[in-house]
Homo-oligomer: A and B are copies of this chain.
């Protein structure tokens, strides 16, 4: 039995959505103990959240700085920090955590500007600490299996990538009527300048890149907001060009009625096609050219090591978002255990790292620049 990993959390107090998701994901496999937190910028609320979570009162801190101070003095202090604040704080918190010698697991985006993100990445690289970014969808077992199929040449050379992420919760100007999530996500000062393109477009972009193994060379974006007066885009149309001549389309929208979290990826190659939808994640549609399409199912013992390692219950008993999220936590835990013993980690990290986070930042910045220029092709760098 390896000792459980001691973690703290910044942000994620009572009422926050994503903090609770992180905690469930961290608990699922029993590898983490949440021992400390700065759950809110308001000391009272941070304390109350900590107590509700069973945290020792002294370790429910009034600020992340106080948490880092307090924990560093303890023998049993935390080893890693989970950052689930609004976007504009990510980089500052992460920088301080690295400086305190802690591993970091951070929500995307890394920062609200690419400069800030680059600086953070520089710090992370020299820190000898682990840095994970929660591009959750790469935790789904069949996403990982799809990636393997592509890498193994099962669909041949990639020709076309189609990815979309559609939601509808911003179809009306809810940011102006008391919806807290909407309020900060539609405020460039807190969320960054990108709206849908950043909030969910980056997830779509990362998923496509993760499975295809391809980096776009250039893109063209047409970003709009359907809701009058909104300060950020809520509908993003993006075209992509890859080095091998392949092409991609990416659609991200938060104003598409009837869509909840309709993230769908299709990749077509010279020998076959793949299709995966997040809302029914336990099925992967695979069409070898010249044969009937088949439905690959999560939990099928024939899938091999990568998919099976990421699977908890048998085929036909559905898994979902929390299990995918927990896979990132499990990978991060394995890396921390390896770090403890001084082992080298694998060359290719199974979880998204700060480099993936940077890539997402570049995508958003380039898309914003393209769209502002009227919708022109720009290199992605």
Cα of A237 to Cα of B377 in the assembled complex, Å: 14
Over the window 154-165 of chain A, the binary record of Cβ atoms lying under 8 Å from chain B Cβ atoms (1 yes, 0 no) is: 010001101010
Over the window 285-324 of chain A, the binary record of Cβ atoms lying under 8 Å from chain B Cβ atoms (1 yes, 0 no) is: 1111111111111011010000000001111111111110
Structural contact, B1 and A51, CB atoms closer than 8 A: yes
Structural contact, B259 and A316, CB atoms closer than 8 A: yes
Answer yes or no: A338 CB below 8 A from chain B CBs: no
Chain A: interface residue total (CB-CB under 8 A): 91
Structural contact, B282 and A292, CB atoms closer than 8 A: no
> How many whole Å from A156's CB to the nearest CB in chain B?
9
Cα of A258 to Cα of B159 in the assembled complex, Å: 14
Structural contact, B318 and A318, CB atoms closer than 8 A: yes
Cα of A256 to Cα of B267 in the assembled complex, Å: 8
Structural contact, B320 and A160, CB atoms closer than 8 A: no
Q: Which residues of B contact A285 (CB under 8 A)?
A: 258
Using A226-B270, A312-B322, A320-B323 as known contacts, say yes or no to A247 and B235 having CB atoms under 8 A apart.
yes
Structural contact, A273 and B4, CB atoms closer than 8 A: no
Q: Which residue in chain B gives the minimum CB-CB distance to A157? A: B226
Cα of A173 to Cα of B119 in the assembled complex, Å: 49
Q: Which residues of B contact A287 (CB under 8 A)?
A: 168, 257-259
Answer yes or no: A28 CB below 8 A from chain B CBs: yes
Give 8 CB contacts A-B under 8 Å: A24-B29, A27-B30, A162-B164, A257-B272, A257-B288, A258-B275, A290-B302, A320-B323
Given contacts A258-B273, A318-B318, 6 further A-B contacts (CB under 8 A): A1-B54, A155-B257, A162-B251, A249-B251, A278-B318, A293-B294
Chain A residues engaging chain B, CB cutoff 8 angstroms? 1, 4, 17, 20-21, 23-24, 27-30, 51-54, 155, 159-160, 162, 164, 167-168, 171-172, 220, 222, 224, 226, 235, 237, 239, 241, 245, 247-249, 251, 253, 255-262, 266, 268-273, 275, 278-282, 285-297, 299-300, 302, 312-323, 374-377
